[in-house]
Amino acid sequence: MKPPITDSGWFWGALFSGMALVATGLIAGKFEVRQRQVEGRFHGRQLAHEERQRRAAGLSPVDLADSARERDAVAPRRIVPLWTLTAASAAATVASLAMLARERLAREPGPVSR
C-alpha cells in the first residue's frame, strides 16, 4: 500500500510554491504601485546625495528639478521586477511536481512474477 501523498515533502513544496505563484498574480497591481513609490524615493535620495557630494567638493550646484524624470518613464526599468519572483515560484512548482511524480511512480509496485 502506498503512503498518502501528503507524506511527501515534494507535495508540500509544490503546494506552497503554487500558492506563491497565485499570490504574485494577486498582488501584481499593488506591487507595481508600491514599487514605483519606493524606487522613486530611492532615486531621489541618490540624486540628493550626489548633489551634496558635488557641493562638498566645491562644484557649482545643480538644480535637481531640472534632472527630474517622469515616474511613468522609468516604470519599465524597475530595480526589483516582480517577474523574478514569479519565475522562481513557477520553476519551484514545476520542479516539485516533477519530483513528486517521479517519487510516486518509483513507489508503484511492479508486475507480480511467478
Q: Taking the complete model, does pTM exceed 0.85, yes or no?
A: no
The ranges assigned to domains in the chain are: 8-107
Is there a contact between 21 and 86 (Cβ–Cβ < 8 Å)?
A: yes
Please count the CA atoms within 13 angstroms of the CA of 110 that sit on its side-chain side: 3
Average pLDDT rounded to a whole number, residues 2-10: 89
CB neighbourhood size of 15 (10 A): 15
Please list the alpha-helical segments (H only) found in the chain.
Answer: 9-56, 71-74, 82-107
pLDDT tens digits, one per residue of 63-90: 777 766 666 665 567 788 899 999 999 9
Identify the DSSP state of 23: H
Q: Which range among 38-52, 53-67, 93-107 has the greatest average pLDDT?
A: 93-107
d(CA 51, CA 66): 13
